[in-house]
Amino acid sequence: MEQKKKLLGYYNYTVILTYIGMLSGFLGVVNAYEGKSLNAVICLMVAGLCDMFDGAIASTKKNRTEPEKCFGIQIDSLSDLICFGMLPASIVYSVNSGNRLVLVISALYVLSALIRLAYFNVDEQERQKKCTGSREVYFGLPVTVSALLIPMVYGLIGLFSAAQYTALTVTLLITGVLFLLPFPLKKAHSLGKACVILVGVVEIVIVCLSV
């Protein structure tokens, strides 16, 4: 790997969305701890949108070097830990501030996301040594699913004027467990992504109506 660089890292167009998503995730964490949970949820949805398309953009560059590919895997997972690990946990704890049980569940959720992402990195690097095609099957629930689940539950709670945020905590707990269970899950292609976008649009409507 070339060592003489003006700045460490890679800054071509293939990682721009990943960087934007991470910044959105960080901004969401800040908003959560300032008590601005709605802003934090919006940041989570923006991060999820960035993550949906960053892989497709990266694949358009056919002449990526091995270091660039490895960097892409690592930076994507590190960004995911902030956006879909720390941010959902921060949102759930912020609306249950002071609840020690929720604090423990939130911490375990982040730990589950960390373990899953680290395992995925190792598994993906081993897979790429054996084949050059894209992955078709994941094992366990991808951490990015939290960008759909948390805003949906948050919006429904506000829409129906629920007094308790137990549903958010339960969602966080179940999601964290599913991160580590090794069940097979087929990768979403065009139709699957279209369905995800449709769900995202519905979420935006629900969140707006709940304000």
Distance (Å, whole) CA 91 – CA 201: 20
Mean pLDDT over residues 39-55, rounded?
Answer: 90
Mean pLDDT over residues 24-49, rounded?
Answer: 94
Residue for token digits 């979420």? 203
C-alpha separations of 151 from 3, 46, 59, 156 in Å: 42, 11, 29, 8
Domain borders along the chain are: 13-128+135-210
Distance (Å, whole) CA 193 – CA 190: 5
Q: Is the pLDDT of residue 175 over 90?
A: yes
Mean pLDDT over residues 170-193, rounded?
Answer: 86
Q: Is the pLDDT of residue 89 over 90?
A: yes
Give the pLDDT score at 139: 85
Give the pLDDT score at 117: 94
Question: Mind listing the pLDDT tens digit for each residue in 75-87?
Answer: 999 999 999 999 9
pLDDT band at 168 (very low <50, low <70, confident <90, very high): very high
- Give ∠ CA 145-151-152 in degrees, rounded to 5: 90
Mean pLDDT over residues 51-77, rounded?
Answer: 79
CATH of 13-128+135-210, picked from 1.10.1070, 1.25.40, 1.20.120, 2.60.40, is 1.20.120
